[in-house]
Structure 1
């Protein structure tokens, strides 16, 4: 990806995550990126192309975060997994909230746009390629299903904390409870 394209997509994520889907326009992205008018439309001819580009960039950003997570984990250590994953969830609900809000806006958009739904499915499969082995390493009897449950929990934790922030937000407790129910004792 070129530096300019990445700059535009990161600006589009900020627009989407701070102002919502209706405000995601070529002109708004140009302004957010501090680039001349027309810069975004030169890279993304249609709004659909821009939305697809944003989703692709979100997958890159989130995959990089998950890769960092995987690099911090000693194999099979449930407590370390809970601690690291809790930190991964806590960060986007504070300084990284625009990324999570942008992702959620696109998930809602996917409900009425099948092409975006397919891209989301492909992104989840990409995450599963390395996430399922992590869950398997914790002793899961059904790593693919348990990884999907873990992703659902994470999405719910994000949604709740972003919509109604709690001072005592404790994602680690929820993750540990889910894993206690899924993993052998």
Structure 2
């Protein structure tokens, strides 16, 4: 990805994550990126192209997070996996809160725009390429199904913490319980 493209997409994520879908315009992205007016529309001719680019960038950001997760883990250690994933969940509700809110804004848009759903499915498939082997190494009896369950748990933890932040937020406990269940299933 070129530096300018990444700059524009990261700016679009900030616009989307702070203002929602209605604020995602080429002009708003240009302003957020600190680039001349017309920069975003030159790179992304339509709003749909911009939204697709944002989806791709969000998947890239999340795939890098899963990659980091894999690097930090000793093989087969459920407690370590739960700890690292819990830290990642906290990161996406704190320092990367805007990234998570942008992703949710696009999910809401996809609920009323079916043409966006293939991009979401492609993103999930890309994450599954990283996540399913991690679950297999932890003893999952059905890594594809269990990865979807883990994503559902993560989404619930993220959305609840974003909407009603808890001071004693403990995603590790929920993740650990689910992961131990994968071994028995």
Tell me the TM-score normalized by structure 1.
0.97
Aligned to 1:153: 153
Once the two structures are superposed, residues 134-160 of structure 1 have per-residue CA deviations (whole angstroms, 9 ceiling, x without a partner) of 101111111110110000000111100
Once the two structures are superposed, residues 90-129 of structure 1 have per-residue CA deviations (whole angstroms, 9 ceiling, x without a partner) of 0111111000000111111111222210011011011111
Aligned to 1:50: 50
Q: Assess if the C-alpha contact under 8 Å between 2:78 and 2:180 holds in 1.
A: no
CA distance in 2, matches of 1:61, 1:139: 27
1:60 aligns with 2:57: no
Aligned to 2:101: 101
Q: CA deviation at 1:182?
A: 2.3
Spell out structure 1 runs of 4+ moving beyond 3 A: none
Aligned to 2:13: 13
CA distance in 1, matches of 2:20, 2:122: 23
* SS, match of residue 36 in structure 1: coil
Q: Assess if the C-alpha contact under 8 Å between 2:30 and 2:39 holds in 1.
A: yes
CA distance in 2, matches of 1:143, 1:10: 32
Q: CA deviation at 1:87?
A: 0.4
1:76 aligns with 2:76: yes
Once the two structures are superposed, residues 12-64 of structure 1 have per-residue CA deviations (whole angstroms, 9 ceiling, x without a partner) of 00000011110000110011001111111000110000000000000111101
**After superposition, where does 1:33-44 map in structure 2 within 5 Å?**
33-44=33-44
CA RMSD after TM alignment: 1.1
Aligned to 2:133: 133
Q: CA deviation at 1:184?
A: 2.8
CA distance in 1, matches of 2:126, 2:91: 22
Q: CA deviation at 1:181?
A: 2.4
CA distance in 2, matches of 1:4, 1:166: 37
Q: Assess if the C-alpha contact under 8 Å between 2:63 and 2:130 holds in 1.
A: no
CA distance in 2, matches of 1:40, 1:23: 14
Show structure 1 runs of 5+ residues with no match.
none
Q: CA deviation at 1:165?
A: 0.6
Q: What is the count of residue pairs matched by the alignment?
A: 185
